[in-house]
Structure 1
Amino acid sequence: MRWFGFGFNAFGQIHVGEKLIKGECSDAAEEVKVFSPAELDCCSCCRVKTGCHIRASWSRRACLHLDGDSCVCLCGVSVKDSRGCKDASVSESHLTLAFSDRIESWDLQKEEKTPSWSMGITTESSGPSLNLPLVPGGYIATKPPFYRSLSPHLKAKSLALSAEHAVLLSASGAVYTWGLGSHGQLGHGGLTPEEEPRAVEALWGMPMSCVATGGWHSVCISDGGDLYVWGWNESGQLGLPSRGLRKALQQQRSQQAGATCQDARTSPAEESQEGEKNEEVFISIQAFPALLDITPSCEIRTVSCGSRHTAAVTTTGDLYTWGWGDYGQLGHQTLISSDEPQRVEFFSEQHMRVVDVVCGAWNTFAAVVKEEVA
């Protein structure tokens, strides 16, 4: 399995360019914006291989290596205190490590010899294996107080955290959300906050298998492979019509048309079509979950969200992305944003099948395997 990345690269999250090595600040597109999928650089002692999992924040990329003596690398540099860890998560300020007997959070902005926070785990309390940020009895937040308790009645299976809201998937497949709801990201139909986990009633009775959060939007996948989206759509991150993106595209086309034929006039038929386009319903905030059809013939396997973009992998191994693309995080080898899911053609052209995807705030990481030729 190989990992590729594209999008924001100002801190060397994808590859370390010449100017980054020299410590120079550069606005060059090839240093900061990677708009064509590039295979990840990694340290010489820990190659990116089968047991590697990616964790990402805005400026950091962590590689969790589970082959042999497990460890964590931050942008290629091995974290010595991570030997033997079972899971990891990274934020702008902290690296959290899960071991079989404890949870540790290390302050990345300070050089300390001990973790800034830790919590012991007993064999009896550990129960079924949980993935961070879930821990026995609760979850680990991105800022102090790190440990937050959860009601045992929720029976949490997985949890997705953004800076302002949380989405929980229960063992029964029900979805619960809480936190700030100013952009409809909680899915309850309003814009008000929720202090405690509240079931998303619109999804009740439809078991879900996966949840993810962006900056101000949320998504989930049903057991049948259907994708549901809700929250903010200003950059097309929900895959629904965005007025801002359509207007920008229309202006771009008008400028191109004006440059090629300044004297051209619009025919009555074209004016009629333009009128129909203007009547299209645009969505800025989707406060209830909406079903998003990416491709009629494929089910969705997994999904991840950046700050204002979304990426989904189908069961056939195709990667689709949509939303904000100013840093090339959509992988279409352009810097264009899109409010329509589009397949990342690079991987199919290279005869690669995508098996996993992880989004940082402004970038995307995809795990691929070589496609078997019949």
Structure 2
Amino acid sequence: MSVNWFGFGFNGFGQIDPQCKDEQKDIRVLRPVVLDSLCTCAQTFSRTGLSTEQKTEIQKVVASWSQSAVIHISGGEPRGVCVHGAESGVLVSEGEGCEDALLTESFLILRFSHTVKCWSLHRNSRELVWSEELNTTEKTGNALQLPLVPGGYIGSKPPFFRPLPPHLQAVSLALGTEHAVLLTASGTVYTWGHGSHGQLGHGTLVSGDEPRAVEALCGVPMKSVAAGGWHSACISAGGDLYVWGWNESGQIGLPSKGLREESQREEESIEKDKLKGNKKEDKGTSDVFISIQAFPALVDVSEVSEINKVSCGSRHTAAITSTGDLYTWGWGHYGQLGHGSRCSSDEPKIVDFFSDGRMSVEDVVCGLWNTFVSAVPRNRVPS
């Protein structure tokens, strides 16, 4: 039984459903839709020796603001990469056999067994702009996922290869808009880059060019890290979720003054006629609101299960529990929370599309303003 991939949120360039863009429908996808339109790229496979009638599956989805890229597999083998969105086009034979992908607004980076290559995505100019051999003799080389590569990581713009000190023993790395979050083999979290919104987790708004351990997390081994626009997250070995940084839209799961005031204005508008113009009493004036959380904060997502995976968008966050449920929170203007509305939330809420449909979520990838999810029927035992 194959895994189904779904998408929801900003679709202004057809990066979730190209047909919606062509038909000039709403640029918002408010509820998860199956990525059928991204599963078939006849041009790609007809030129790599694969019949257009053969079924392909999605192995992985990566996203930037206006684009999404899909690694296709057939018979368990990577067959090519399709790019959908503002600068949409198809990488044909060049993408065959790729093991991992990283997408920015201007570049598509593909990792192969022994090399990493970067293509320009400028309109009518899909040229190879950079390539480098990988030192696959390193013990952790084959297990690393982009943007990590042996000896360093791949940046979002030139110079693409950035070295990392060997003593860090990096096993995972997440890139935000202006910062990076790294996980070491010992479970220690390091951050660097811009810190103007507290996204480095050091208790200040100061930036830093060199990796620095997040002291507030020392002594608590972590197993996963994520980075968004201006916020960061990590999951402990015990399944606890820690989030820090900018909370303007409730993306770190703590009370947001802006969201509460917006909600109050909506309630006042609804009650205006009943109250004959009298303003409702503000019951939230004594609440503590968080605009910037410069230290990691423990966020309770689910009282009954641990967190297995987390991903961060520009101003929203998504997490998968050990029971296969998906929770989202933060900015929801384009439907990127998957709740069927444009409402934002500073509290994690379950995406009932999957739980009500008896689906278990296996993976989640947040684009800046959208979300991509893989799920299987709950009666299936994952391999």
The question of a shared fold, defined as TM-score above 0.5 by the shorter chain, is answered with yes
- Match for residue 215 of structure 2? 201
Deviations 1:69-101 (A, max 9, x none): 432121396421111111111110000011112
Q: Find out whether 1:98 has 2:100 as its counterpart.
A: no
How far the C-alpha of 1:102 sits from its partner, in A, is 1.1
Give yes or no for contact 1:3–1:48 (8 Å, CA) kept in 2.
Answer: no
The aligned runs of 1:60-209 (5 Å cut-off) are: 60-66=67-73, 67-75=76-84, 78-80=90-92, 81-109=94-122, 111-112=124-125, 114-125=127-138, 127-129=140-142, 130-209=144-223
Deviations 1:220-256 (A, max 9, x none): 0001110000000000000100000000101110111
The aligned runs of 1:232-311 (5 Å cut-off) are: 232-262=246-276, 274-275=282-283, 277-311=284-318
Of 318, 323, 328, 1:321 maps to: 328
Give yes or no for contact 1:142–1:163 (8 Å, CA) kept in 2.
Answer: no
- Match for residue 21 of structure 1? 22
How far the C-alpha of 1:111 sits from its partner, in A, is 4.1
Say which SS state the counterpart of residue 167 (structure 2) adopts: helix
Give yes or no for contact 1:303–1:310 (8 Å, CA) kept in 2.
Answer: yes
| Structure 1 Cα separation of the partners of residues 132 and 225 of structure 2 | 26
| Structure 1 Cα separation of the partners of residues 239 and 72 of structure 2 | 29
| Structure 1 Cα separation of the partners of residues 278 and 192 of structure 2 | 54
How far the C-alpha of 1:261 sits from its partner, in A, is 4.1
| Structure 2 Cα separation of the partners of residues 117 and 319 of structure 1 | 37
| Structure 1 Cα separation of the partners of residues 224 and 81 of structure 2 | 25
Q: Find out whether 1:359 has 2:366 as its counterpart.
A: yes
Letter matched to residue 360 of structure 1: G
How far the C-alpha of 1:189 sits from its partner, in A, is 0.2
Say which SS state the counterpart of residue 249 (structure 1) adopts: helix
CA RMSD, Structure 1 to Structure 2 (Å): 2.1
Deviations 1:281-331 (A, max 9, x none): 000000000000011111001010110000001010111000000000000
Percent sequence identity over aligned pairs:
53
| Structure 2 Cα separation of the partners of residues 163 and 327 of structure 1 | 19
- Segments of 5+ residues of structure 1 without an aligned counterpart are none
Residues 252 and 198 of structure 1, relative CA distance in 2, 3 Å threshold: same
Deviations 1:17-75 (A, max 9, x none): 35x337xxx5xxx43000011111221557563x6111111011111234324321213
Residues 265 and 114 of structure 1, relative CA distance in 2, 3 Å threshold: closer
| Structure 2 Cα separation of the partners of residues 74 and 287 of structure 1 | 36
Deviations 1:190-215 (A, max 9, x none): 00001100000000011111100110
| Structure 2 Cα separation of the partners of residues 265 and 74 of structure 1 | 50
Give yes or no for contact 2:120–2:127 (8 Å, CA) kept in 1.
Answer: no
Give yes or no for contact 2:78–2:99 (8 Å, CA) kept in 1.
Answer: no
Letter matched to residue 33 of structure 2: A
Give yes or no for contact 1:321–1:343 (8 Å, CA) kept in 2.
Answer: yes
Of 342, 345, 348, 2:352 maps to: 345
How far the C-alpha of 1:117 sits from its partner, in A, is 0.8
Letter matched to residue 79 of structure 1: L
| Structure 2 Cα separation of the partners of residues 113 and 300 of structure 1 | 39
Letter matched to residue 11 of structure 1: F
Residues 113 and 358 of structure 1, relative CA distance in 2, 3 Å threshold: closer
Residues 125 and 114 of structure 1, relative CA distance in 2, 3 Å threshold: farther
| Structure 1 Cα separation of the partners of residues 192 and 78 of structure 2 | 37
Give yes or no for contact 2:195–2:204 (8 Å, CA) kept in 1.
Answer: yes
Residues 232 and 263 of structure 1, relative CA distance in 2, 3 Å threshold: closer
Letter matched to residue 324 of structure 1: W
Letter matched to residue 128 of structure 2: P
| Structure 2 Cα separation of the partners of residues 114 and 124 of structure 1 | 29
- Number of residues of Structure 1 aligned to a counterpart in Structure 2: 359
Q: Find out whether 1:229 has 2:243 as its counterpart.
A: yes
The two structures have a TM-score, normalised by structure 2, of 0.89
